[in-house]
Amino acid sequence: MISTNDLKTGVTVEIDGEVFMIVDFQHVKPGKGAAFVRTKIKNVKTGQVFERTFRAGEKLNRAIVERKTMQYIYSEGDVYYFMDTQTYEQIPLNKDQLGDSVDYLKENLEVMVMLHEGVSIGIELPTFVELEVTETEPGFKGDTATGGSKPATLETGLTVQVPLFINIGDIIRVDTRTGEYLGRV
């Protein structure tokens, strides 16, 4: 059991038989009335994020989620396969469990697979990934880094806004939390 006073970002809790991760929290002490905790929680299976308010001191069941480093190896339709690099055991996850994470997956990428009671429930991506630009408008002489941006399609199918000097074949770094261009590699 964990008290709502002890909640932190990244803590996993069990509510109504579902596993949720705390995305954001705020302790509120109004001038009148009892204190409470306002949270943003994410269902780790569906990826849905919503707000929920708890009374201060309320007890929640802590969900024990094991995180294992695994390597993404391939996909077959809507099923994505991850391999434990020590035991070579493969775990399949479907597209619904992964949500928007599929936009950043490329072969041999190491991710953290989350397991709850031995069942895989999702993945945590690295903060940054390096992807190749496969489609974008050509850059022209005189384009500058501060002159604007254009859309670019990456090797995984993800489209991001990039500076005008980025060309097809360039490898760029993308933030997996926001989907923003961070720089050329």
**Cα–Cα dist 171/21, whole Å:** 32
Decide which of 62, 83, 104 is a domain's last residue. Answer: 62
Q: Which helix (H) or strand (E) holds 51?
A: strand 49-55
51 and 69 in a single domain? The answer is no
Give the residue, 97 or 40, on which the prediction is more confident. 40
> Residue 9 is part of which domain span?
2-62
Question: Greater confidence, 1 or 46?
Answer: 1
Structural domains of the chain, count: 3
139-185 residue pLDDT tens: 665 655 556 788 999 999 999 999 888 899 999 999 988 889 999 98
Last residue of a domain, one of 33, 62, 91: 62
* Percent helix, strand and coil across the chain, each to the nearest 5: 5, 55, 40
The CATH number assigned to the domain holding 179 equals 2.40.50.140
Q: What is the pLDDT of residues 22-70, one digit of tens each?
A: 888 999 998 888 899 999 998 877 778 889 999 988 999 998 888 899 9
pLDDT at 141: 59
pLDDT in tens, 102-136: 899 999 999 999 888 888 878 888 999 999 999 99
Looking at the structure, tell me whether residues 88 and 116 fall in a common domain. Answer: yes
Report CA 115 to chain centroid distance, whole Å: 15
Single residue among 38, 62, 86 that ends a domain in this structure: 62
Q: Are residues 104 and 69 in the same domain?
A: yes
Q: What is the CATH number of the domain that holds 44?
A: 2.30.30.30
* Same domain assignment for residues 97 and 112: yes
